[in-house]
């Protein structure tokens, strides 16, 4: 949903890309088996093209512009390139080109932004073309050497054969000659029916080092002469540094420097991070409250409630005569639900390592957007983009949090005060919890009209609450409207940029609107973004309407969508697999949603004990992402989506008092553990012809399916999230 | 000053005794496979073995060691990355971002030291590490697979 941001950043980068830049080192990011791992892939021969380098040892290095943060995009994108390249998959390794190189080469790798489940779906065309172009050049080089037409040569598994003779050569032998050739003007991509690597459940390319501790994350970066920093920013919204007493800690072990960073933070630099943080904990700091420092979540409830019935609201979608539907209704159903703020809580806290000199600033960091990280670096360094470089490392989780550059700017600011000395800044978990870009808070009031036959005749879904775009990219608002608020609820056929976030139900008369109520809390894009709560609001309420109408929730939903539609297909798939409607005494709940271009559905089975405790017994989930590049990785993302979505449902809640976050660590912002985790049966059912996202869409269906199953088990509706501390038999 | 026996090697480090074992492992010994996640023994990313028993090293002061304990980190779990848990994890392609996995693997290896064939109930009771990407469903299956390989 960050299109506005992407476009504005692209404009910024492109305008600054006219000048040259020394090409930095490429950061290797994942091997594939021992052979590839042990190979030296930095042979001094040129690349075939920007996407593909082939060593004399036949090792194929595929360049990956998007960031790997667990979602598997690294492997998926490599499969796309390898498919068209016709290379030996067992000899594929990957590396990240740097944002500086991208800038110097006129953005040859395109967009580095990794969010919105777009890694594969937005770049599949050009990365496949890159692979195909490299194959054509390799074949042409071999044909030239043999003095035969290229049309008589074929490539398979990194070997080129001449069909008219027994001549053959390997990619590694011909790569240097191929690199001298002009790229083809036109390439034709394979028909999906010819795919041999795309669509296969390949193992990830980046697993081996993650099993042995060898994988280097940002927090693990070690540079010669490096010092370590810990930082504390004002704990209250809008707060700034009033004063701090450096003398109190300057003599503590290892302390090198105590300094203010920007107007709101204080950092301690020491030989080791533990020394830096120990000293920081002991540092007396006085904070000056500012705008928003009196904010409290409890008090903000009144503003959210006001928005639920306010006269003015932005219309996101609608049609038909809603007033008439309610005037003529045989029955009106009403309910109010909420979604509290959430923290991304990546397992690896925010960090960046920087070294600054008057001529150059270099940063090593986990980031979801290399180019934005480069811009943050240049800005904080006070240097032109061309004199800065960012080396991306694998992310220990991202979930949307690492699209921001706040921690990078801090690291660069500290490094700038110590020219030539590399500084690693690592946040504590507490700092990470307090200074998030939080999933926005909203409430929703739904009203539904039923006729005497139990048909839905009207629906009003009023969202009240926080807009992400208003805070982060107001230029992306359209006449004040934050379209992202309506994720998954938008009209189809209106704006191609949001066609992947549209409502798939066909409703006779309905209105979906948003009364914007913005707290002073910094919001952000959080895995699944606004589809998460929008699915809760719509799908729990449709369940309520089905029961009010005395109808089966599956049949009720299906009556509101074309029978041959893709959303009907995923819904039917989970119903069938889960045993929906069977007489086995299980308590089941359904949900379906469309977001990030993919159709998803889930059926949850739960047990609620006599004393009101929840056990989620089983999840059946279906997804139609159009094209399934790697089915087993899609399964992994679907399974993971339930952990993330159900963690929010069960435990996730960030609340503020006097402008301060009340949850400081995993003891108060808990995450679902293995004891809570049900088995997930995933049905991957790509229907072809389109490319949908995978990392995020399923989160939307996790919570509603469980909430609807809780109702099936208890007859009670849970409308206040999170579930923690609520007795489910007593809500 | 503290003396440790880590991954079979005797090491002496100049460090305040209150320093958590995690930071000695990462900063004084340079073994960065063991991760920092929370600092309050909640998430388990820092799990290492002390005499074969999984401990959360982020709250374990190095001074609490007698010096003769065998400390094992992810780097020392197996010589070639082929401990049964690592084999199972590779076969099932379990890690996503992977940051929690060294701790997860050490916790599971510790569980299997204690209970070679854990039931689902044993797993639920003993494995409490946090994984935000969401590998937990596969981790459960991976534990059963690893148990067959031990």
Q: What are the pLDDT digits (tens) for A567-593?
A: 999 999 999 999 999 999 999 999 999
Omega prior to A119 cis, within 30 of 0? no
Query: Chain A to chain B, count of Cβ pairs less than 8 Å apart?
Result: 177
Q: Residue A230 in contact with residue A273, Cβ under 8 Å?
A: yes
According to the model, what pLDDT value does residue A28 have?
A: 46
A665 and B97: CB-CB below 8 Å? no
Of the candidates A273, A397, A678, the beta carbon closest to that of B133 is on: A397
What's the confidence (pLDDT) of residue A29? Answer: 46
| Torsion sign over Cα B71, B75, B76, B81 | positive
Q: Can you state the percent helix, strand and coil of chain A, rounding each to 5?
A: 35, 25, 45
Q: How confident is the model at residue B1 (pLDDT cuts 50, 70, 90)?
A: confident
> Closest chain A residue to B98 measured between Cα atoms?
A210
Residue A45, pLDDT score: 82
Where residue A41 falls among pLDDT bands split at 50, 70, 90? very low
Helices B101-114 and B136-149, axial angle in degrees (round to 10)? 40
CA–CA separation, A315 and A313 (whole Å): 6
**A674 → closest Cβ in B39, B74, B124:** B124
The model's pLDDT over A276-310, given as tens digits with 9 standing for 90+, comes to 999 999 999 999 999 999 999 999 999 999 999 99
What is the residue-averaged pLDDT of chain A? Answer: 94
How far apart are the C-alpha atoms of B30 and B33, rounded to whole Å?
A: 9
pLDDT for A523-558, tens place per residue?
999 999 999 999 999 999 999 999 999 999 999 999
User: Is pLDDT at A23 greater than 60 in this prediction?
Assistant: no
Q: What's the average model confidence in pLDDT over A256-264?
A: 98
Which tens digit of pLDDT belongs to each residue from A72-91? 999 999 999 999 999 999 99
Q: Which residue of B has its CA nearest to A619?
A: B137
Looking at the partner chain, which of A71, A640, A666 has a beta carbon nearest the beta carbon of B135? A640
Q: Which of B27, B42, B137 sits opposite A274 (nearest CB)?
A: B27
- Tell me the two tokens of residue A606: 């739960």
Instruction: Give the chain A residue whose CA is nearest to the CA of B97.
Output: A70
Distance from CA of A429 to the nearest CA of B (A): 5
Sheet containing strand A679-684, strands side by side: A587-595, A598-608, A614-624, A679-684
Q: Which of B62, B72, B10 is nearest to A272 (CA)?
A: B62
- By C-alpha distance, the chain A residue nearest B28 is A272
| Residue A484: pLDDT over 70 | yes
Facing residue for B134 by CB, picked from A206, A394, A643? A643
B97–A347 CB contact, under 8 Å: yes
Domain regions of chain A by residue span: 4-212, 297-342+438-714
Q: CB of B34 within 8 Å of any CB in chain A?
A: yes
A1/A448: higher pLDDT: A448
- How far is residue B80's CA from residue B90's CA, in Å, rounded to a whole number? 13
Residues of chain A contacting residue B76, judged by C-beta atoms under 8 Å apart: none
Distance between CA atoms of A391 and A373, rounded to whole angstroms? Answer: 10
Closest Cα to residue A636, out of A623, A651, A649, A653? A623
CB contact under 8 A, A213 and B73: yes
Spatial contact of A65 and A109, defined as CB atoms under 8 Å apart: yes
Measured distance CA(A199)–CA(A192) in Å, rounded? 9
Residues of B with Cβ-Cβ distance to A429 under 8 angstroms: 37-40
Looking at domain A297-342+438-714, its CATH architecture is 2-Layer Sandwich (3.30)
Nearest CA in chain A to B76: A212
Share of chain A above pLDDT 70, in %: 94
B31 touching chain A per CB within 8 A: yes
A528 in B contact zone (CB under 8 Å): no
Does residue A8 have a pLDDT over 60?
A: no
Residue A20 has pLDDT above 60, yes or no: no
pLDDT at residue A681 in the model: 98
From A406, A265, A300, select the one nearest A655 (Cα to Cα): A300
Is residue A512 predicted with pLDDT exceeding 70? yes
Query: Are A672 and B136 inside 8 Å of each other by CB?
Result: yes
Kindly give the interhelix angle for A370-381 and A406-416, rounded to the nearest 10 degrees: 40
The structure tokens 């003398």 sit at A247
User: CATH assignment of B84-149, given 1.10.150.120, 1.10.150.20, 3.40.50.970, 3.30.43.10?
Assistant: 1.10.150.120
Condensed to tens digits (0 to 9), the pLDDT of residues A143-184 reads: 999 999 999 999 999 999 999 999 999 999 999 999 999 999
Q: Does B8 touch chain A (CB under 8 A)?
A: no
Residue A325 has pLDDT above 60, yes or no: yes
- Is A588 part of the contact surface with chain B (CB cutoff 8 Å)? no
Interface test with B, best of A73, A76, A208, A274 (most B CBs within 10 A): A274
Which among A272, A349, A399 is the nearest to B27, CB-wise?
A272
Q: Contact A244/A286 with Cβ under 8 angstroms? A: yes
Q: What's the start-to-end Cα distance of chain A, in Å?
A: 35
For residues A160 and A162, give the distance between their C-alpha atoms in angstroms, rounded to a whole number. 7
Q: What number is the average pLDDT over the span A459-478? A: 97
pLDDT of residue A653: 97
**A47, pLDDT greater than 90:** yes
Using pLDDT thresholds of 50, 70 and 90, give the confidence band for residue A1: very low
Helix (H) or strand (E) holding A637: helix A631-650
> What's the CA gap between A81 and A514, in Å, rounded?
42
The CATH-assigned architecture of domain A4-212 is 2-Layer Sandwich (3.30)
Specify the pLDDT at position A725.
87
The 3-state secondary structure of A412-476, one letter per residue: HHHHHCCCCCCEEEECCHHHHHHCCCEECCEEEEEEEEECCCCCEEEEEEEEEECCHHHHHCHHH
User: Is the Cβ pair B102, A71 closer than 8 Å?
Assistant: no
pLDDT of residue A731: 75
**Torsion sign across C-alpha atoms A673, A674, A676, A681:** positive
Sort out which chain B residues have CB atoms less than 8 A from A276's CB and list them: none
Average pLDDT over residues A255-268: 98
Confidence check: pLDDT of A36 > 80 = no
CA–CA dist A641, A696 (Å, integer): 7
Asked if A618 has any chain B CB less than 8 Å from its own CB, the reply is: no
Contacts of A407 (CB under 8 A, 6+ apart): A350, A351, A352, A365, A425, A427
Handedness of CA A630, A636, A641, A642 (dihedral sign): positive
Chain A contact probe: residue of B76, B137, B140, B145 with most A CBs at under 10 A: B137
State the number of CA atoms in the 13 A half-sphere of A722 facing the CB.
21
Cβ atoms within 10 A of the Cβ of A358, count?
12
List of chain B residues whose C-beta atoms are within 8 Å of the C-beta of residue A679: 137
Q: Is B92 on the interface with A (CB under 8 A)?
A: no
What are the pLDDT digits (tens) for A339-364?
999 999 999 999 999 999 999 999 99
SS (H, E, C) A510-573: EEEEEEECCCCCCECCCCCCCHHHHHHHHHHHHHHHHHHCCCCHHHHHHCCCCCCCHHHHHHHH
In angstroms, what separates the C-alpha of B18 from chain A's closest C-alpha? Answer: 10
Q: How far is A546 from chain B (nearest CA, A)?
A: 32
ipTM (interface pTM): 0.98
Contact status, residue A574 vs residue A548, Cβ threshold 8 Å? no
Distance between CA A10 and CA A110 in Å, rounded?
9
Of A69, A347, A395, the CB nearest to B100: A347
Q: Which residue of A has its CA nearest to B141?
A: A679
Domain ranges of chain B: 2-77, 84-149
- Contact list, B99 vs chain A (CB under 8 Å): 217, 346-348, 396-397
In CATH terms, the superfamily for domain B2-77 is: Beta-grasp domain (3.10.20.30)
CB crowding A54-84: b at 16 or more within 10 Å, else e: bbbebbbbbbbbbbbbbbbbbbbbbbbbbbb
Q: What are A592-637's pLDDT values in tens digits?
A: 999 999 999 999 999 999 999 999 999 999 999 999 999 999 999 9
Do residues A622 and A645 touch, judged by C-beta distance below 8 A? no
In order, the DSSP letters of B83-130 are -HHHHHHHHTT--SS-TTHHHHHHHHHHHHHH-SS--HHHHHHH----
β-sheet bridge partners, residue A232: A266
Strand order of the β-sheet with A265-270 is: A255-261, A265-270, A227-233, A423-426, A351-356, A361-365, A388-392
- pLDDT of A489 reads 98
- What percent of chain A clears pLDDT 90, i.e. is strictly above it? 93
pLDDT of residue B61: 97
Residues of A whose CB is below 8 A from B139:
674
Residues of A in contact with B130 (CB under 8 A): 347, 666, 671, 673
- Compute the Cα dihedral for A534, A537, A541, A543 and give only its sign: positive
Q: pLDDT of A657-702, one tens digit each? A: 999 999 999 999 999 999 999 999 999 999 999 999 999 999 999 9
A642 contacts B105? CB cut-off 8 A: no
Write the residue in B37, B77, B129 that is nearest to A429 by C-beta: B37
Report angle CA A619, A624, A627 to the nearest 5 degrees: 135
Q: Is B132's Cβ below 8 Å from some Cβ in A?
A: yes
Give the 3-state secondary structure of residue A225.
coil
Contact map slice: B 55-74 vs A, CB within 8 A: 73-74
Contacts with B, A 268-297, CB within 8 Å: 272-274
Nearest CA in chain B to A432: B38
pLDDT tens-digit readout, A363-379: 999 999 999 999 999 99
Residues of A in contact with B32 (CB under 8 A): 213, 216, 219-220, 222
């Amino acid at each position: 949903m960050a299109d506005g941001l992407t476009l504005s950043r692209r404009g910024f980068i492109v305008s600054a890309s006219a000048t040259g830049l020394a090409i930095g080192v490429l950061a290797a990011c994942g091997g594939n088996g021992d052979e590839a791992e042990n190979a030296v892939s930095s042979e001094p021969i040129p690349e075939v093209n920007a996407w593909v380098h082939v060593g004399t040892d036949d090792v194929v290095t595929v360049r990956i512009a998007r960031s790997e943060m667990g979602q598997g995009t690294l492997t998926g994108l490599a499969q796309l390139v390898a498919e068209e390249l016709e290379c030996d998959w067992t000899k594929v390794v990957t590396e990240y080109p740097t944002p500086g190189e991208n800038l110097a080469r006129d953005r040859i790798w395109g967009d580095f932004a990794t969010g919105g489940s777009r890694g594969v779906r937005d770049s599949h065309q050009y990365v496949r073309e890159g692979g195909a172009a490299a194959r054509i050049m390799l074949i042409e080089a071999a044909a030239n050497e043999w003095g035969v037409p290229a049309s008589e040569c074929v490539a398979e598994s990194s070997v080129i054969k001449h069909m008219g003779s027994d001549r053959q050569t390997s990619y590694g032998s011909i790569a240097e000659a191929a690199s001298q050739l002009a790229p083809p003007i036109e390439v034709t991509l394979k028909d999906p029916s010819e795919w041999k690597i795309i669509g296969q459940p390949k193992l990830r390319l980046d697993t081996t080092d993650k099993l042995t501790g060898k994988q280097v994350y940002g927090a693990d970066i070690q540079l010669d002469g490096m010092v370590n920093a810990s930082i504390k920013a004002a704990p209250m919204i809008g707060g700034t540094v009033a004063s701090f007493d450096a003398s109190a800690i300057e003599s503590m072990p290892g302390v090198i420097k105590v300094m203010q960073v920007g107007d709101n933070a204080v950092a301690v630099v020491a030989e080791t991070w533990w020394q830096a943080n120990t000293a920081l904990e002991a540092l007396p700091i006085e904070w000056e409250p500012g705008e928003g420092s009196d904010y409290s979540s409890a008090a903000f409830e009144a503003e959210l409630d006001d928005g639920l019935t306010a006269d003015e609201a932005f219309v996101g979608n609608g049609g038909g005569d809603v007033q008439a539907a309610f005037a003529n209704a045989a029955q009106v159903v009403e309910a109010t639900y909420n979604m509290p703020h959430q923290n991304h809580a990546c397992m690896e806290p925010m960090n960046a390592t920087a070294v600054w000199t008057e001529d150059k600033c270099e940063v090593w960091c986990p980031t979801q957007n290399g180019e934005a990280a480069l811009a943050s670096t240049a800005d904080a360094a006070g240097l032109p983009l061309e004199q800065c470089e960012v080396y991306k490392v694998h992310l220990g989780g991202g979930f949307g949090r690492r699209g921001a550059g706040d921690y990078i700017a801090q690291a660069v600011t500290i490094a700038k005060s110590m020219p030539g000395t590399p500084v690693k800044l690592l946040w504590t978990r507490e700092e990470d919890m307090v200074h998030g870009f939080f999933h926005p808070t909203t409430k929703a009031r739904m009203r539904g009209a039923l006729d005497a036959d139990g048909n839905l005749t009207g629906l009003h879904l009023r969202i009240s609450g926080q807009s992400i775009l208003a805070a982060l990219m107001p230029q992306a608002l359209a006449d004040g409207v934050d379209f992202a608020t309506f994720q998954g609820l938008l009209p189809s056929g209106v704006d191609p940029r949001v066609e992947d976030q549209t409502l798939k139900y066909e409703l006779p008369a309905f209105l979906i609107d948003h009364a914007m109520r913005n707290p002073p809390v910094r919001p952000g894009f959080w895995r699944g973004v606004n589809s998460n709560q929008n699915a809760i609001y719509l799908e729990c309420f449709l369940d309520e309407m089905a029961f009010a109408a005395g109808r089966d929730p599956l049949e009720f939903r299906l009556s509101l969508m074309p029978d041959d539609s893709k959303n009907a297909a995923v819904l039917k798939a989970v119903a069938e697999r889960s045993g929906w409607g069977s007489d086995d005494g299980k308590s089941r709940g359904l949900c379906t949603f469309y977001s990030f271009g993919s159709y998803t559905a889930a059926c949850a089975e739960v047990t609620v004990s006599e004393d009101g405790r929840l056990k989620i017994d089983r999840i059946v989930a279906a997804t139609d992402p159009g094209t399934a590049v790697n089915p087993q990785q899609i399964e992994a993302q679907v399974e993971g989506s339930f952990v993330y979505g159900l963690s929010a449902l069960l435990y996730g809640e960030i609340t503020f008092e006097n402008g301060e976050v009340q949850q400081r660590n995993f003891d108060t912002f808990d995450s679902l553990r293995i004891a809570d985790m049900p088995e997930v049966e995933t049905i991957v059912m790509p229907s072809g012809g389109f490319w949908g996202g995978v990392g995020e869409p399923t989160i939307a269906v996790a919570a509603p399916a469980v909430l609807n199953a809780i109702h099936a088990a208890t007859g009670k509706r849970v409308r206040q999230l999170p579930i923690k501390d609520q007795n489910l038999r007593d809500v | 000053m503290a003396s440790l026996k880590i991954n079979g090697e005797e090491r002496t480090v100049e460090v305040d005794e209150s320093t958590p074992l995690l930071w000695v492992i990462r900063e004084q010994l340079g073994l960065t496979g063991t991760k920092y996640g929370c600092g309050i023994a909640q998430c388990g990313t820092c799990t290492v073995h002390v005499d074969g028993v999984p401990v959360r090293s982020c709250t374990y002061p190095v001074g609490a060691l007698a010096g003769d304990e065998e400390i094992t980190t992810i780097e020392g779990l197996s010589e070639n990355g082929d401990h049964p848990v690592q084999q199972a994890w590779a076969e099932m392609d379990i890690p996503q971002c992977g940051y929690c996995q060294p701790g997860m693997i050490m916790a599971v290896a510790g569980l299997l030291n204690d209970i070679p064939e854990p039931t689902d109930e044993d797993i639920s009771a003993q494995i409490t590490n946090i994984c935000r990407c969401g590998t937990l469903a596969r981790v459960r299956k991976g534990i059963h697979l690893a148990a067959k390989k031990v």
